[in-house]
């Protein structure tokens, strides 16, 4: 049984049909990427999995439990965490308060030392408020807030967007270390090089449909797929 199994997923924004019978699966300890052009439905897929967008129909099973239609907080308690593109940290709270608040309602949690081992920059800035952090530090904090809840699976929505190359390199290293430790990750990211360096398997979404699924290595060998679906 896969850790995450999705079938027949249909989502709408008002009357606009966005996702069409999306089916995918994610194995334990796997890193899977969702690729596609802007507006293809990648972020909507993550938000639907997390319950931010309620699916009109379809099945989402997390570790065997049907979670389609659940509220986000209940899905979070079941072991899924979404790191939004907007980061959604508390600007008036310190780094350490942000992490502690995220851990408060978790059924299982990481020790603070483990978080700081992964993000030594956050340890240095632990008393700084969220608004005083750089964009890269805010992204680190957003990911740390998800990880402190000891999730079964983490959904990362555009984690490298708008960040300096040196910060992208550092975050990519963090993601590699997480993957090596067995953390299951689903990644939406426009940075193709970073994505293919991290992911083991890739889904390509085109106009709300799953258009391709296969090993990340296949996309490196078949540039015509990248051209057809991503225009690169």
Q: How far is CA 63 from the centre of its chain?
A: 17
- Under the banding of pLDDT at 50, 70 and 90, the label for residue 87 is confident
195-219: per-residue pLDDT in tens? Answer: 999 999 999 999 999 999 999 999 8
How many CB atoms sit inside 10 A of residue 100's CB? Answer: 15
Task: Provide DSSP, 15-42.
Answer: TEEEEEEEEEEE-TT-EEEEE-STTSSH
Assess contact for 172 and 150: CB atoms under 8 A: no
Q: Model confidence over 173-199: pLDDT tens digits? A: 999 999 999 999 999 998 898 899 999
pLDDT tens, residue by residue, 29-61: 999 999 999 999 999 999 999 999 999 999 999
* Average of per-residue pLDDT across 145-162: 96
For residues 67 and 76, the answer to whether their CB atoms sit within 8 Å is no
Q: Domain residue spans in the chain?
A: 4-230
Regarding pTM above 0.85, the answer is: yes
C-beta atoms surrounding 49 within 10 Å: 27
89: confidence class by pLDDT, cuts 50, 70, 90: very high
If you search the block for the tokens 């632990």, which residue do you land on? 126
62: which strand partners? 4, 65
pLDDT at 229: 85
**Domain covering 4-230, topology:** Rossmann fold (3.40.50)
pLDDT value at residue 146 = 97
Q: Kind and range of the H or E element at 212?
A: strand 209-215
- pLDDT tens figures, 113-150: 999 999 999 999 999 999 999 999 999 999 999 999 99
Phi, psi of 222 (to 5 degrees): -125, 75
Quote the pLDDT of residue 99.
98
Strand order in the sheet with 80-83: 80-83, 153-157, 184-188, 31-35, 201-206, 209-215
**CB within 8 Å of 28: residues ≥ 6 apart:** 2, 3, 182, 184
Residue pair 22/136 in contact (Cβ under 8 Å)? The answer is no
């Amino acid at each position: 049984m896969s850790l995450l199994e999705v079938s027949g997923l249909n989502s709408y924004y008002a009357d606009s049909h966005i996702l069409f019978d999306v089916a995918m699966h994610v194995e334990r300890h796997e890193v899977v990427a969702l690729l596609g052009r802007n507006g293809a439905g990648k972020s909507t897929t993550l938000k639907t999995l997390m319950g931010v967008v309620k699916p009109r129909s379809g099945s989402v099973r997390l570790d065997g439990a049907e979670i389609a239609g659940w509220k986000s907080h209940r899905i979070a308690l079941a072991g899924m965490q979404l790191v939004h593109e907007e980061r959604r940290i508390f600007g008036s709270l310190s780094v350490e308060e942000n992490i502690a608040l995220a851990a408060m309602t978790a059924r299982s949690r990481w020790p603070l030392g483990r978080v700081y081992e992964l993000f030594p920059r956050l340890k240095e800035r632990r008393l700084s408020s969220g608004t005083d952090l750089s964009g890269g530090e805010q992204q680190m904090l957003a990911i740390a807030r998800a990880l402190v809840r000891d999730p079964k699976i983490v959904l990362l929505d555009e984690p490298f967007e708008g960040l300096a190359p040196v910060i992208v390199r550092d975050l990519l290293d963090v993601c590699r270390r997480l993957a090596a430790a067995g953390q299951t990750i689903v990644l939406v990211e426009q940075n193709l090089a970073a994505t293919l360096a991290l992911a083991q398997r890739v889904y390509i979404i085109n106009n709300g449909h799953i258009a391709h699924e296969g090993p990340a290595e296949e996309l490196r060998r078949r540039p015509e797929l990248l051209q057809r679906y991503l225009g690169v």
